[in-house]
Amino acid sequence: MRFAFPLAGVVLSLMGIAVAQDLSQPVPPKPMNWSFEGPFGTYDRGALQRGFQVYKEVCSACHSLNMVAFSDLAAPGGPGFSEAQAKVIAAGYKIPAEPNDRGEIFDANGNRLTRPGVLADHFPPPFANEQAARAANGGALPPDLSLIVKAREGGPDYVYSILTGFVKPPHGFKVQEGKYYNEHFAGRNISMPPPLNNGSVTFSDGTPSTIDNEARSIVTFLAWASEPNLEARHSIGLQVIAFLVLLCGLLFLSYRRIWHGGRQDAAARDRPGSTTEKH
């Protein structure tokens, strides 16, 4: 199918050059253990709340989280904030206001009118539009984070690896101008500056704010943002599987009895072709 897409050919030939240099091939994501993996997995509440803090204080400067509403922060299976806490969090955000009684959305000075957020609002994006986002980020577009963990091969491991993958470039590797070296990113040149430092945030629960702790927290938070119903899915799944195992067992017994039942079994005795068939 490549022949249909000259662009894909260009990409592949670029990859070909990358192979020759070897260093442009990204290092595979670090395999991590996450509390939400496996059939019984749940999100670590503490990590979710810390991750929310990291998103709010660090990531949200550039990255939107369009699909997550403030009410989700208090929803079952989420970070576990109370409704009152979620309301306070929402009120801390300025949301572009709906037209007022006079039909205005700008004040006398030409500033956009805003109102405090409510539970039904979604996290407001940091930039008005794609062009504004690119202009502020050297031409690069910081992706929306609502689905980022599901939208990348490697999922949470990959996002964690990117956040902690800003190491010193190996000798001889030329980092492009305005980019940063990240060994887990395709091409190893990433537009995002290292977002996390020791002490980037001060966790209210006293967790030491190491890069590792910050990255684990934000990845947990983003995994939840990508899959907010994971806990419900896991627990309903358990009930469904248990029911089906029971159903399979009962059907198996019925199947055995009808096909290979003993003499007292009327159906088997009447089975056409059997020696005891009634005529």
Partner 1 sequence: MAGQSTYVPKTGFTRWLDARLPILRLVSDTLTTYPTPKNLNFWYTFGGILAFMLGVQIVTGIVLAMHYVPSADLAFQSVEQRIMREVNYGWLIRYIHANGASMFFLAVYIHIFRGLYYGSYKAPREVIWLLGVLIYILMMATAFFGYVLPWGQMSFWGATVITSLFSALDQVIPHLGSAITTWLWGDFAVGDATLNRFFSLHYLVPFIIAGVVALHIWALHVPGNNNPLGIDVKGPQDTVPFHPYYTVKDAFYLALFVLVYAAIVFYAPNFFGNPDNYIQANPLVTPTDIVPEWYLLPFYAMLRSVPQKLIGVLVLVASLATLVFVPWLDTSKTRSCRFRPIMKQLFWLFAADCVLLGYVGAQTADAAWHLGDITLPLVWLARLGTLYYFAFFWVLMPLIGWFERAKPLPESIAQPVLAKV
Residues lying near partner 1 in the complex (CB under 8 A) are found at 1-5, 7-8, 11-12, 15, 39, 66-67, 72, 143, 146-147, 150-153, 155, 226, 228-229, 233-234, 236-238, 240-241, 244-245, 247-248, 251-252, 254-255, 258-259, 267, 271-273
CB 173 within 8 A of CB 161: no
Buried b (16+ CB within 10 A) or exposed e, 150-165: eebebbbbbbbbbbbb
**CB atoms < 10 A from the CB of 3, how many?**
7
CB 187 to partner 1: min, Å? 11
Token representation of residue 141 = 């577009």
22: region left, alpha or beta (phi > 0 left; psi from -120 to 50 alpha):
left
CB 251 to partner 1: min, Å? 4
Of 31 and 272, the one with the shorter C-beta distance to partner 1 is 272
Of 208 and 237, the one with the shorter C-beta distance to partner 1 is 237
CB 77 within 8 A of CB 54: no
Of 41 and 46, the one with the shorter C-beta distance to partner 1 is 41
Of 8 and 61, the one with the shorter C-beta distance to partner 1 is 8
CB 236 to partner 1: min, Å? 7
Spatial separation of the C-alpha atoms in residues 211 and 203, rounded to whole Å: 12
CB 271 to partner 1: min, Å? 6
